[in-house]
Structure 1
Amino acid sequence: MAPWKAGGEEAMFLELIGTLVAGLAMAGVVMALNRLLGGRLPRWLAPVAAGCGMIGVTIASEYGWYSRTRAALPEGMVVIETVESRALYRPWTYLVPYVDRFAALDSTSLKTHPGQPGQRLFDLYFFGRWAAVNRLPVLVDCDSLRRASLADGAEFAADGSVAGADWRRPPAGDPVIQAACEV
């Protein structure tokens, strides 16, 4: 299994363990410091330090997920679109949003047909924080600037033409069409 195909549950569990360890470590540091100072620190400082450590690790993990995941992508994967997240219960995300989803085109899966030189078939992968990776075969017509998801029902003829494709004309500047036609 490729490293970027790991399930979200495994990553969630490991992050939970890391968060708990960070909380315990921060509480331990405050307790050791309190012992060195002869018990002069207030008793509430250890749990507050543990909570701050856990929140800090969670925030660092949220903001680092995209760069870690992107760095682990295999050769030929091109990130074409990212989705930033903001949430009321995470007020810092309004100042600096973080990427929690993105789409990547697998340029190694790109296929063309001599009878249809303007069309490109490739796999598009969707990554999400806490979500399994999803793959979708996509057909792009670079000449007509349209695309079709080939989830089911599409059939290819010997000349490369496709029947049963649900063609869509996205707005100008569509990142899927731009990426597919530039490769």
Structure 2
Amino acid sequence: MLFEFIATLSLGAGAAGLVLLLQKFTRGALPRFAMPAAAGLAMFAFTIWSEYSWAARSMAALGPDAVVARAIEQKQVWRPWTYLAPVTTRLIALDGAKTKDFDGTVVTDMYLLSRWQDGAVVPVALDCLLNRRADLFAGHGEDIKVTLQSADWLAVGADDPVLRAACDTLRSD
């Protein structure tokens, strides 16, 4: 967040500097409001770009094997442009590189990402046959079959987006 704030201020100062340079070359032909307007527009445009590109940049940072299971989009009153195109504020992604399939149960890492907050990694097991999920906080170490038998399973619907992503995209048939 601090880096984006610094980048926004730097971009505004750079835009103001360009207008100042243009003022010098045109001998003051530009209106007086051109410098603050250019700085404000540059910072505003960067902020909007940063908001809308956050999800794609976050997924790129996870690597090419990561799969978006669910993207939560929001419209917010203090950002009126989100009423035209909602902005993604949270993501649930699954790690395709760490996926293992055990007779219809997919074991992988689930990434919980949220704009302006630290992300979390939760090892999960998703049972594609019985439509259920277990968070493997104890880990999925040496004997995964014992871990799966003693796991605390939570029933989810067959149309759950995380279950569907794991079973349809990550599962090796």
TM-score over 0.5 (shorter chain): yes
The percentage of counterpart residues that share the same residue type is 40
- Per the alignment, residue 41 of structure 2 pairs with 52
Cα pair distance change 1:158/1:121, threshold 3 Å: closer
Paired residues for 1:83-162 under 5 Å: 83-113=72-102, 117-151=103-137, 161-162=148-149
> Which amino acid letter does the alignment assign opposite residue 163 of structure 1?
S
Unaligned runs of 5+ in 2: none
> Which amino acid letter does the alignment assign opposite residue 118 of structure 2?
A
Unaligned runs of 5+ in 1: 1-11
Q: Distance in 1 between matches of 2:147 and 2:124?
A: 15
Q: Distance in 1 between matches of 2:58 and 2:154?
A: 30
> Which amino acid letter does the alignment assign opposite residue 169 of structure 1?
A
Q: Alpha carbon RMSD of aligned pairs, Å? A: 2.6
- Per the alignment, residue 175 of structure 1 pairs with 161
Which portions of structure 1, spanning 4 or more consecutive aligned residues, are displaced by more than 4 angstroms? 156-161
Cα pair distance change 1:111/1:95, threshold 3 Å: same
Query: Is structure 2 residue 55 aligned with structure 1 residue 66?
Result: yes
TM (norm. structure 1) is: 0.78
Correspondent of 1:23 among 12, 20, 32:
12
Aligned length: 168
Q: Secondary structure at the match of 1:132?
A: coil
1:92 Cα deviation after fit = 0.6
Question: C-alpha offsets along residues 19-50 of structure 1, whole Å, 9 cap, x if unaligned?
Answer: 11111121122222223333243323311221
Q: Distance in 1 between matches of 2:145 and 2:32?
A: 77
Q: Distance in 2 between matches of 1:169 and 1:101?
A: 23
